[in-house]
Chain A
């Protein structure tokens, strides 16, 4: 009974915290972009414009929730929930600190990969159900991009799995007691980061949306809270990928003891979130085929090579 109560409590806290963080990230991104782009950003509602998040949420809730008459209604409604749900599910296995996690699955890493793959359904179904040519193009781009980058997202993590000998994320964190995996798996880290950006389709990998080309790509037709779901899903995705980078390559909650483990974890994650925003502020967007070429012809061979070398070294040393 107690156990179940603990789960439920953890889930409720987690849901509340994560959606709050994701919403707050919208403010953070807009302020940071503004800072880097010599402008103010939202600064009117509340201190430092923090309440813009509340204003935005209220606006999204009260906007007309419009479903285009030409859309496939059921799928159109389901699509945005998938991305938010899939990302939230991934958080089940993320160890924020010792004891602060929902479930310490022994296939944690695989669970994360599986869940994050589900996100692509959201894009494909949303784009298809909208029955809009821009959305369709965005969905096609999104599907091929995410499937391609999924491949080496998994591969880039396998080196870490070999070194730690476990798919359980707590084990992976604890295996980094002496040194972080970013030092033994630098290539894996870079590849995972790239794949992670592609997975969240943020600039420079935002070709499914590609504002100047496809208006808003797969979610052109969405408004109100359905758009809000895509929006929250994107920021949850950023948080998730940052959290996973920290967990797998930067020692998770580990750190000098003058700060509690949870704070260490939050700090490290925050740095990567900022990196995401900085990337958006600085890079242009490659063309769709260039992105595919880059993925299959450059990153995939490197990922395989990395795996091969890691395997050989692991075999020799243990």
Chain B
């Protein structure tokens, strides 16, 4: 990750010695503290004029530092809050992490929503979660929590348990107030009610709507059936996954990750555990890597099958979804045989996986590999070659590569813009470098191309699974590291040290060394990343989950303007999001 070490020198030469301070991070991502007054200038420089420009604002989040064990802090600055910017450069294939220290109870900082389009929602999220104001933001209002919410959930003084709060009651006046808050007022969004020759209609699509795949609300400004503008209203699926991370132990947080991208199953475990293992310094055995890859690819196919079927259904084709769910069921049979659960197996562990593969797993996998290609070909004829399907998707919802990067699009949506970028290839993790597979791309960046990429990805995943099947290494299914949780059972019966570690790790949870680390995986829907901060405790100090669906949904108004309501469904379908992945 640290290929571009000249960056600090370049920045120092431009902004001077005093403007920056370097910090080392466990994951070796270049981490720089920038003075609050300089941050916009530094970010502008990095985006526009740097030697290797950082085109994508990968993530923007904050940390409430006030409770952090001071002795463990980085020693450079001791702030009340830290704003963390993650930028990514496709040219040099590297991340850079910029931090800004903020002081005071409710501090503020300059907004960068002019610099990156996708900063808008990220800043609103930070405001919502921390109460930090962004000056110059066009519409700084809550995004995930209800407008009537009191307090900012990710601040340390905000309770994380229902038992720490008063019992929930909904009396009539409160209900009226909540409903009043949900009323859409176009003026608040700078939308006009009339044009010169027409009155606009505001159509409230969702949160309960058959086409939104979950509790998503989109308010459409319509001229006839043409979309003038759209305002996505998210947060109905917000379950405080990041807050839970500060409450659960490192080990007991794993099941929560399953439910972030709930179609991705164990792939979420992987993103989280890669970061934890970086912090803990665990190198997992080869067999673990291959098992993990195999399960992840199964879930990629399962997730894509759900997308495939529901996309066709959104366009009115009723049958494919049933065939595809039947195949998904076959995958779940295998997942169940291996993990014991289906959608949310919670099966990866710190330093390994929960159990070894069961006897006969290879037969199950083999039969799926034999069965699935025929079905995929049939689906291709049924859906992708259908002329009505093409008429509904070709040339709809187009964005260019530049726009995609500007908005933070990752995954198949990015590859559909003729850009072969896949983190499994470019920054291999969990041994992906040992596998032979291609990165499918498509040319036009429209709804149809996004579908083409996903369909081809299923073929590639099948290839990877077959390689896992043929080359499954022997060896332990857990690493022999003291922080592996739970540790290998048979060792606990042999020496007292392992017994004690076992006892402590299972009862209190493992103590992960202080530091910070970020993982980035190519999840089913795009780049999923966990940025963990540890202050050397049994639970994380801060868990930041960067999900792909969040920036994708933010782009929706931009790519659906000028299309019709029917096209909106094509665009939503081709985007492949799940609400939990947006709201967390």
B-contacting residues of A (Cβ < 8 Å)? 33, 36-39, 133-134, 137, 203-204, 206-207, 210-215, 280-290
Contact indicator A215/B392 (Cβ below 8 Å): no
B326: chain A residues within 8 A (beta carbon): 38
Contact indicator B569/A213 (Cβ below 8 Å): yes
Interface pairs A-B: 8 shortest CB-CB: A285-B316, A284-B317, A37-B322, A212-B211, A284-B315, A284-B316, A287-B566, A212-B314
17 contacts between A and B (CB under 8 A): A36-B319, A38-B326, A133-B201, A133-B204, A204-B388, A207-B566, A210-B566, A212-B211, A212-B315, A281-B318, A281-B319, A283-B317, A283-B386, A284-B312, A284-B316, A285-B316, A288-B225
CB-defined interface of B367-397 with A at 8 Å, one 1/0 digit per residue?
0000000000000000000101101100000
CA distance A215 to B205 in the complex (A): 9
Min CB distance B317 to A, Å, is: 4
Identify which of B386, B565, B567, B569 contacts A137 (C-beta below 8 A). B565
B210: chain A residues within 8 A (beta carbon): 211-212, 215
CA distance A287 to B319 in the complex (A): 19
Interface size on B, residues (CB 8 A): 29
Min CB distance A303 to B, Å, is: 21
CA distance A206 to B315 in the complex (A): 11
Known: A203-B316, A286-B392, A288-B564. A38 touches B323 (CB 8 A): yes
Other than A203-B316, A281-B318, A283-B316, give 7 A-B pairs with Cβ distance below 8 A: A37-B322, A38-B322, A204-B388, A212-B211, A287-B392, A287-B566, A290-B391
Q: Which of chain B's residues 300-338 have a Cβ closer than 8 Å to chain A?
A: 312-319, 322-323, 326
CA distance A290 to B316 in the complex (A): 14
Interface centre among A33, A36, A281, A287 (most CB of B within 10 A): A287
Min CB distance B314 to A, Å, is: 5
Contact indicator A37/B323 (Cβ below 8 Å): yes
Known: A212-B313, A285-B388, A286-B392. A280 touches B318 (CB 8 A): yes
Min CB distance A163 to B, Å, is: 33
CA distance A139 to B580 in the complex (A): 34
B209: chain A residues within 8 A (beta carbon): 215
B203 is an interface residue with CB less than 8 A from chain A: yes
Q: Which of chain B's residues 94-116 have a Cβ closer than 8 Å to chain A?
A: none
A-contacting residues of B (Cβ < 8 Å)? 201, 203-204, 209-211, 225, 312-319, 322-323, 326, 386, 388-389, 391-392, 564-569
B564: chain A residues within 8 A (beta carbon): 287-289
**Nearest residue in A to B224 (C-beta to C-beta)?**
A140
Contact indicator A33/B316 (Cβ below 8 Å): no
Min CB distance A285 to B, Å, is: 3
A288: chain B residues within 8 A (beta carbon): 225, 564, 566
Interface centre among A36, A207, A212 (most CB of B within 10 A): A212
Identify which of A33, A137, A284 contacts B389 (C-beta below 8 A). A284
A289: chain B residues within 8 A (beta carbon): 564
Min CB distance B496 to A, Å, is: 57
A280: chain B residues within 8 A (beta carbon): 318
CA distance A287 to B388 in the complex (A): 9
B566: chain A residues within 8 A (beta carbon): 207, 210, 213, 287-288
A37: chain B residues within 8 A (beta carbon): 318-319, 322-323
CA distance A213 to B210 in the complex (A): 8
Min CB distance B316 to A, Å, is: 3
Min CB distance A127 to B, Å, is: 14
B567: chain A residues within 8 A (beta carbon): 287
Min CB distance A208 to B, Å, is: 12
CA distance A283 to B387 in the complex (A): 10
B568: chain A residues within 8 A (beta carbon): 213
B319: chain A residues within 8 A (beta carbon): 33, 36-37, 281-282
Known: A137-B565, A212-B569, A215-B209. A287 touches B391 (CB 8 A): yes
CA distance A212 to B391 in the complex (A): 17
**Nearest residue in A to B203 (C-beta to C-beta)?**
A133
Contact indicator B318/A286 (Cβ below 8 Å): no
A211: chain B residues within 8 A (beta carbon): 210
CA distance A215 to B210 in the complex (A): 6
Min CB distance A153 to B, Å, is: 21
